[in-house]
A and B are shown apart, each in its own frame.
Chain A
Amino acid sequence: MGLSTVLLVEDDPATRARVSEAIACRPELSLLAAVGTCAEAKEVLDRATPRVLVTDLGLPDGSGIDLIRRVGGVPGSDCMVITIFGDERNVVAALEAGATGYLLKDDPAEDIGAALVRLIDGGSPISAKIARYLVRRFHAGAPDAPPASAGPVDSVSLTERETAVLERIAKGFNYAEVAQSLGMSANTVTSHIKHIYRKLAVHSRSEAVFEAAQLGLIRLR
């Protein structure tokens, strides 16, 4: 297995330098490019697809969401969003576009590298709030969620196990405690989470399609 390529898109030079450095420190990773704008990133993406896209959301010429949508759909690629606060709104938007992880801007350099490697190995970070959001989103409990049987949404519902993981995390338990209470390994927990993120992206896409079909914007065959 070769080196995993990383494309870094971050407009703040200092942060870009710090994250670049963190990537360089990890022997498993190789920096494909570190750019500051959407346009530059798209140029790079035209030539090659990175193993991991690490992007800020607020870029001078656009939103990182567009980049995540482009890379997130490619099999074998992961997207990670850099946020300052890890707040629900930004992270969820990125997850729905297809991201499977997030970094905090002030995380220590070693943590950033570790998080990237963990992502490549199939693990994803999550917070109590995001877990709670996901439980609500996938289950009919969320008032704005369409009914589970009303379309393609049904094909991406959560399994019981996945729901159990999310519910425990929403109560503040960490991976180890969740793994123990459910009789699984900590790695299994994080891969469950990554799986859930993927479902969320599909869910959002199919929801969009479903809504568009409902509105008569597109025709489903």
Chain B
Amino acid sequence: MNRPARAAALVLLLLACAASGAAGETVRELDEVWFLQSDTPQPPAAEAPGWQRRRLPDDWNHSQPGRAGIGWYRTELDLPEQPRQPWAVDVSRFWMNAAVYVNGIAVGGEGSLTRPGASSWNRPLLFVIPPTLLHAGTNQMEIGVWAYRDVHGGLQGAELGLEAALRPLYERRYFFKVTLNQALLASTLVMAALVGLLWFRRRRDTVYAWFALTSVCWGLKIFTFLVRDPRIDTFFWAWLANAVNYWVAVSTGIMVHRYFGVFRPRLERCMIGYAAVSTALLPLFSLTHTHAVGVVLELGALATVVHVGFLAAWRAWNSHRSDEIVLAGGIVSLIGLAVHDCLLDMGLLAQQDWYLMHYGAPVLCMVLAWLLTSRFVQALNASEATAAELELRIEEKRRELDQSYRRMQDLQRRQAVAEERDRIMRDLHDGLGGQLVAALAMSQRTEQPQPAIRQTLHDALDDLRLVIDSLDPVDGDLLVLLGTARARLEPRLAQQGMRFEWQVNDLPSIQGFGPDKALQVLRIVQEAVANILKHARARTVTIRTGTEPEGAGRPAAVFIEVIDDGAGMAVERAGGRGLGNMRERASRIGGQLQLATGERGTTVRLSLPLDQAA
């Protein structure tokens, strides 16, 4: 943060050195001269009436207020002999155009004394006097200047001496007044472009836009110091050169507001209004600095800058943030420079000829650009850090989720195991348990014949097998299940001289058909066949399977029919306990049981919807 501040200090130091550049002994500084307001583009003769003594620096605002046009300064140079080396005259500051004559011969000039428009007042000038122009004895030298009405006129000072002695001083001045300014102008505009581009891609950060605008205004301001010949109407040029001050101040103010995150729309509207109104008013009165209206308008700019100076200082004082301190220091210094330039303009600093604000402003712009980029980089770093942090948190959440998923899975598995255990317990209790108890009871009653016990035990074992069959995965393959049931039932049918008629059609496998459902289907079929064995007096038991397409209000289903060719059932028996059992089992697995009985046999039909999940 401190580097820009140090750079600024260095520049100011160099300026100080340049300003106090010592002249050699061979250099003569003009102080007492003759002056004649003549309005002729040629120097009037020394004998002409009206020459008066003037001391330099001479500011027409003081020495002859209200005068404009051409004025001539004359001095005499006594030489013992014709010099062998060229002499030169360094016109350090004048308003606005100048011409230099030696012994009646023009040696140089800046702008024209007849055509107004040039604006060379802030440019050091060195005019070389060839040795042949000089002679032993008294030589005459005239410096003519041309000025606008009510704008500065006059001559700040001039130095006469050997060119070799004057040139280094001139070049140093030229560097600081012209070359350095050009470089500052270029860098200010480049910064404005870069930051403006940044704003173009990030419209939300208006501080960048205001920075770019401020930089452009400053650039314009510096431009007015540099231009030798604006090539536009003098009036407009003066208007532009003065009006830009208001805009510089206002745009700097709003930018500083944005930098500190201050939003005062009404105040800012007032500022912009002030700049607009001032710009419009200025040409209605006068374009002079000294005119009362002009001064009042300038005061608005000063007030704006002082306001943001206080704001920045107050913020920096409270926050102790290095960037805010640097910014506040920069603004306050700039105000100092501005006051200095104002005083200079008013001719209150007669011994000075350096305008300073346009050096300070680009430095402040650079400092600001540096602060803004640091801020941008900090934001970028912070967002990167946030992204990394976010990633970390997501990873953590993912792990947590993973863990809870695993816990849930574990829980589900345990629950499934528990349910399965319950189911097996129930099945064993309902079937096997009851049968074993019955067998035990039979074995205790000695009159009970052995075959009955054996049959009961067989039934128990069969039931156990049924349960175990149902435990094997069948993947919803009903035909395998029926095949299993057939293998067990066929011998018992055969004992009674019956046989199976196997009329199965391929069935689609049923989704979600687990062991519990398999067991219910097996039990239903077994019960239906057991009923036939007990009551039907049939010869053939037909097992038929097929699919039912989706019908009115009914999902697609598969059906299993157990058909006998026996005597049929009485209606009261049809609703009896065995059937009720089967119905209940069917509904437990989401199926439906239908019974059709007649003289030519009975059909038990079990329908199971294909999508068991529904």
Contacts and interface: CB of A to CB of B under 8 A. Distances in A.
Interface of A: 84-89, 106, 127-129, 131-132, 169-174, 177
A172 B481 CA distance: 8
A171 B545 CA distance: 11
Given A171-B504, A177-B502, A132 B468 contact: no
Of B482, B502, B543, most buried by chain A (CB within 10 Å of CB) is: B502
A131 B484 CA distance: 11
Interface stretch (B220-228, B310-318, B457-465): B457-465
Given A128-B480, A132-B477, A174 B486 contact: yes
B472 interface: yes
B468 A128 contact: no
Given A127-B483, A169-B483, 4 more contacts: A88-B472, A106-B458, A172-B480, A172-B483
B477 A172 contact: no
7 contacts: A106-B458, A129-B469, A129-B480, A171-B480, A172-B479, A172-B543, A174-B490
B479 A87 contact: no
B22 interface: no
A171 B458 contact: no
B487 interface: yes
- Across the A-B interface, give the 6 residue pairs with the lowest CB-CB distance, nearest first: A128-B483, A172-B483, A171-B479, A85-B468, A128-B480, A88-B472
Interface string B493-517: 0000000101010100000000000
A84 B487 CA distance: 15
Of A88, A171, A177, most buried by chain B (CB within 10 Å of CB) is: A171
Contacts of B543: 172
A172 B458 contact: no
Contacts of B490: 174
Contact of A128 (B458, B484, B500): B484
Contact of A173 (B468, B484, B502, B506): B502
Contact of A172 (B465, B474, B502): B502
A172 B504 contact: yes
A172 B480 CA distance: 6
B121 to A, nearest CB: 96
A86 B469 CA distance: 9
A128 B502 contact: no
A106 B479 contact: no
B484 A127 contact: yes
A85 B479 contact: no
Contacts of B477: 132
Contact of A106 (B461, B484, B486): B461
B469 A132 contact: no
B560 to A, nearest CB: 11
Of A85, A127, A172, most buried by chain B (CB within 10 Å of CB) is: A172
A170 B479 contact: yes
B145 to A, nearest CB: 105
Contacts of A87: 468-469, 471-472
Nearest to B501: A177
Contact of B483 (A84, A88, A170): A170
A128 B500 CA distance: 15
A89 B468 CA distance: 11
A126 to B, nearest CB: 9
Contacts of A106: 458, 461
Nearest to B481: A128
A106 B472 CA distance: 20
A127 B461 contact: no
